[in-house]
Chains A and B, each alone.
Chain A
Amino acid sequence: MRKLLIYLKDYTKESILAPLFKMLEAILELFVPLVVAYMIDWGIGYENKTLVMQLVLALVGLAAVGLICSITAQYFAAKAAVGFATNLRQALFHHIQNLSFTEMDTAGTSTLITRMTSDMNQVQSGVNMTLRLFLRSPFIVFGAMIMAFTVDVKAAMIFVVTIPVLFVVVFAIILISIPLYKKVQASLDAVLGATRENLTGARVIRAFNKEEEEQENFRAKNDVLTRIQKFVGKFSGLMNPVTYIIINGATVILIWTGALRVESGALTQGAVVALVNYMAQILVELIKFANLVVTMTKALACANRIESVFEIEPTKVLTRQQTAAAAKDTAAKMAEQNEHAPVVEFRDVCLTYKNAGAESLTNLNFRVNRGQTVGIIGGTGSGKSSLVNLIPRFYRATKGQVLLEGVDIDDYPLDTLRDMVGVVLQKAILFKGTIRENLQWGRENATDEELMEALTIAQAKEFVDKKEEGLDAFVDQGGKNLSGGQKQRLTIARAVIKKPEILILDDSASALDFATDARLRRAIRDMEDAPTVFIVSQRAATVQFADLILVLDDGCIAGSGTHEELMASCEVYREIYNSQIHAAKGVAAHA
């Protein structure tokens, strides 16, 4: 929680003023028993009606000023709490945006979402309540004690003993509940995960007739959540009864002592009433405080969860804003090497995923020249995607160096690097918005002509043209209103519009038929300033005409060269090629 408090900084003024005004209100409240005692002893005692009237007016006056203070405090508290949550949410979102693929893989999406939403709301109301009440309650409690001292020192000693006991009890309950609330949120994560999973997998679950089983699964998770919630409830439910016993016990002792003191002539009846009233005020305050403690413990548990997201360090500190000096350095190096350096070079590159036992890529070495087309082919899990993921630095090589135009990619500011590389991922993902908005992810200020040109290259023009709204046709979340192939072609267009120096197609034409696939490749090759292209594919026909074909087998390069060279030298490649092309040609000849 402590680390999160910096987000309250913008609202320092508010977060000091809110409790301050609350305290002012509390002071006014503390005067009430005094006024009443005065009224009993002097007003009633001496039958002075005007004094009674004056004192009643004083009570109303106190209440009115109290109201103003309180409203001011509420305003500042609301402003600080909402502002705090806003800042925190923004910061957390920013932080998550900067997490690399490795950290996203480990953290998991659904828990990040709960933390951004449900946890965040709990923290907001926690801060709000705390600012409003947290200072007020102890203040009233101690204030009541001090006031008791002004009435009678000996009787006040009862307060001195009672209050620490109360605090011990309250804090013990807080300390026990915090870890329990954390568990509650964790079970909530599980429930959320199950819900999400059943939405994304609705088709498969139904195809396998798993609806009932999934309902059972959910029931189990739901029950775990309920059980832990009830368990926490039992603890926090102790708060009120226990404090009630302590306070009333103290009151009993107070009356007895009061009786003795009155008998000895040291106190008046009105003073005893005042003392009892102060004790009652403490009770009222503690009941409020108990409710606050529940909110606060929840908020603290949630704050810890948020904090733990902040604690996930992005692997590379040198993220988006690289230091100016380093950028200059890179620029100089780039200028120097640009001319003759290969566009992409891998030097003894290895990659081991976090928490993975074995290397996914082992000692890769190759060079690619400007404008070349590189085909990458190989078995499932042979590391094709891993290889291309290294180029835009989605993952960092655990050993060796990846060089872009002669400069280690680690030296590039991430912005520059990702500007140079256009990627089309395996999974075609689009966002809610118009087709135009989706494409503009590639380049913000692209004109309609440029957009249409990219669509033409990506073979998507035809179906976009068919849409009544054209570029302004709406894409649902996740592109649910488009077919797999349409999505793929739009994601390709989105990458092409960037006019990147390097274009990576990670098996991104898998949903395209051969004819479209072929037209797509030709169109890319015919582009003005044609990019260096990496094509990951399963189809030999797709990579066949590449300038350089890398054949991957179990994370190693099993062969590299042109189609002809590989046919002559590479067993693995020959096998792949023959299995596909031969069959197809045979039939063609037959027909």
Chain B
Amino acid sequence: MPNTKKAKNRADRKDTLKKVLQRIKPYWPLVTLSILAALVTVAATLYVPVLIGNAVDRILEPGKVDFTAIWRILTQIGVVVLITAFFQWVMNISNNRITYHVVRDMRQEAFDKIEILPLKFIDAHSYGEIVSRVIADVDIFADGLLMGFTQLFTGLITIAGTLVIMLTVNVTITLVVVCITPLSLFVASFIAKRTFSMFKVQSETRGEQTAFIDEMIGNQKVVQAFGQEEKVEERFCEINDRLQECSLQAVFYSSLVNPSTRFVNSVVYAGVGLAGALAAIGGTLSVGQLTCLLSYATQYTKPFNEISGVVTELQNALACANRIFELIEEEPQIPDAPDAVHDLQADGSVELEHVYFSYVPDRKLIEDFNLEVKPGQRIAIVGPTGCGKTTIINLLMRFYDVNKGTIAVNDTDIRHMTRHNLRENYGMVLQETWLKAGTIRDNITMGKPGATDEEVLEAAKATHAHSFIKRLPQGYDTFIAEDGGSLSQGQKQLLCITRVMLCKPPMLILDEATSSIDTRTELHIQNAFARLMEGRTSFIVAHRLSTIQEADKILVMRDGNIMEQGNHEELLQANGFYAELYNSQFAI
């Protein structure tokens, strides 16, 4: 069992690696340049010690110093060094470019995916977790990738290069080196295998902590209102302590790789020294050659050292890449059919036929729901809190797809329309106001980017948002922070209504749209809405009976089911659940 799991892990990693390589592919010219530069750099770097060795061999003892030869060698060193430095820089820059471009692409891919993921996924995951994938994981991956590029390539080339040169100098000593060095790889992989799981625990704990931070700092006001700072800190402390523990393990054990492999290298160095010195005594090797071999031994073993370091880093990076790919490969919403209707101008007729829907398969919600809406009708959805009113909106806007049955606009099944086309026919104001970071104007013109200043002003006046906007420091160009910043809930709602007011779509969805607006302002807005709703189909989720009683049709919901349908008078006469609700308004 553990074996198959290990094999699966390895397959996973291979798979991830393949995906990473796919994303590097578009940058192959840069990769080629980087490899070429690495080749030149390594070759030149390796050539320098040879030259130095040659020079040292020309310095024997007083009277036996060949100055002209030394001068010639030294100028050669100078030239080679300059070439090396240049190509090193080229290599560094190419690696940087490749890494940051690949990472940018992946981040974009992840973000693009967020835009087409079914809402089901977004509703089911904590924001902090998704954000951590797009930000933190991508970051760590970038670090790993960069390190991989700079050190893996040059490392491998260096190993090959030194081997060749050492062989030309002395075969036996080279064999000594080649035989001992793999020891360091063995040691490194031994340690890496044991640290991989520690890294995993670390990144999981980190994820947990990020989610906690996101939740608590995001809702700090509530934390403070309940004086829970200490409690929250305690919980944070608990996670933090756990993180400390597993981080310490991961950091310490992974940092053992370097000293251990360095020790192996020192042994190699000593081995070369021994064999070299004995050969020199035997007269088969010059002192200059020995110096040269010694320095190559260091150069040869160093990359093993680095590569082993890179391997741990890369493992960590791959683990992160895997989390990003998971997001990128998440099943997107069903794409629009190629022949889907994309230019439907809704006249406002909506028909729901035998609609079945539930969020969780084993918990039934909406069953066999039928509704026919004629153009221009006003449909009010009422019911006690939590009866599933927003579910209807999710279905109408196709945030969620029905499980069975059909929803049709203009007799066209909404699944046969593009989402774009469907949604542009609706104007939606939700109970939970959402504004993006940007100016007031940006927010208002969301639905109609090309709107002129006059149109914006007209819409804002119609909703009475104008009076508060004009009092803001920069009026319509006032920048508001994420989630509306310091605007009051009501002001935010006014902006959301203005946003819809500007587009004048044929159908409206108003979810508790005016719950945070005072009734005086609301009255004004109602007038504006009334004008807007004229000839337009509208779905209104509201609790205020005054808003509801003018509706053409009232859907009374309870526990996700439609209990009653009809207009105000009909429903009162039926003396059912609606009548009960209505009468309770005055029972105080």
Contacts and interface: CB of A to CB of B under 8 A. Distances in A.
A207 B215 contact: no
Contact of A248 (B61, B81, B211, B580): B81
Contacts of A117: 132, 136, 206, 209-210, 213
A90 B81 CA distance: 49
A379 B520 contact: yes
Contacts of B572: 591
Contacts of A105: 481, 485-486
B281 to A, nearest CB: 5
Contact of A381 (B224, B491, B545): B491
Contacts of B545: 514, 584, 587
Interface residues on A, range: 35 or more
A248 B72 CA distance: 15
A147 B202 CA distance: 43
Interface string A97-115: 1111100110011101110
A229 B96 contact: yes
Interface string A260-279: 10111100111011001100
Contacts of A197: 436-437, 482-483
Interface hub of B48, B77, B222, B518 (most chain A Cβ within 10 A): B518
Given A96-B217, A269-B61, A202 B549 contact: no
Nearest to B420: A209
A245 B128 CA distance: 47
Contact of B483 (A64, A191, A200, A480): A200
A179 interface: no
B334 interface: no
Contacts of A82: 244, 247-248, 251
B211 A230 contact: no
Nearest to B468: A381
Contacts of B248: 78-79, 82-83
Contacts of B11: none
Interface stretch (A334-342, A421-429, A449-457): A421-429
Interface residues of B, number: 181
A167 interface: no
Contacts of B430: 203-204
Interface in B203-248: 206, 209-211, 213-233, 236-237, 240-241, 243-244, 247-248
Given A208-B446, A380-B521, A511-B431, A255 B100 contact: no
Contacts of A212: 115
Contact of A357 (B221, B243, B269, B473): B473
B28 interface: no
B130 interface: yes
Contacts of B369: none
Interface in A231-266: 233-234, 237-238, 240-242, 244-245, 248-249, 251-252, 255-256, 258-260, 262-265
Contact of A56 (B59, B259, B274): B274
Nearest to A517: B543
A218 B77 CA distance: 49
A371 interface: no
Given A244-B81, A380-B521, A255 B70 contact: yes
Interface in A190-219: 191-215, 218-219
Interface string B121-132: 011101110111
B546 interface: yes
A229 B145 CA distance: 14
Given A40-B287, A97-B233, A99-B220, A262 B62 contact: yes
Contacts of B277: 39-40, 43-44, 52, 55-56
Interface stretch (B19-27, B156-164, B169-177, B379-387): B379-387
Given A241-B88, A252-B74, A522-B588, A432 B126 contact: yes
Contact of B517 (A240, A241, A380): A380
Contacts of B32: none
Interface stretch (B101-109, B453-461, B531-539): B101-109
B58 interface: yes
A515 interface: yes
A515 B584 contact: yes
Contacts of B251: 78, 81-82, 128
Residue picked from B222, B228, B389, B584, most chain A C-beta under 10 Å: B222
Nearest to A590: B569
Contact of A240 (B92, B287, B390, B586): B92
B308 interface: no
Interface string A159-203: 000000000000000000000000000001001111111111111
B266 A60 contact: yes
Contacts of B135: 114, 118, 188, 191-192, 195
A478 B215 contact: yes
A113 to B, nearest CB: 6
A510 B224 CA distance: 23
A62 interface: yes
Interface string B69-84: 0110010011001101
B424 interface: yes
B62 A264 contact: yes
A230 to B, nearest CB: 5
Given A249-B78, A263-B65, A415-B227, A485 B96 contact: no
Nearest to B398: A206
Nearest to A443: B226
A89 interface: yes
Contacts of A262: 59-62, 65
A580 B223 CA distance: 35
A324 interface: no
Given A60-B267, A588-B586, A104 B384 contact: no
Contact of B224 (A280, A358, A394): A394
25 contacts: A56-B271, A63-B263, A79-B252, A116-B217, A121-B206, A195-B111, A198-B115, A200-B434, A202-B114, A202-B119, A211-B116, A214-B115, A237-B93, A240-B92, A248-B78, A259-B58, A259-B65, A263-B63, A264-B62, A380-B488, A480-B124, A511-B543, A513-B385, A538-B516, A539-B519
The 9 A-B pairs with the shortest beta carbon distances in the complex, nearest first, are A485-B385, A233-B96, A63-B266, A515-B584, A237-B92, A380-B490, A70-B259, A241-B85, A483-B386
Given A39-B273, A425-B222, 15 more contacts: A32-B269, A60-B270, A79-B252, A86-B241, A113-B213, A114-B135, A206-B397, A207-B426, A241-B89, A263-B62, A358-B471, A441-B226, A511-B515, A515-B585, A518-B588
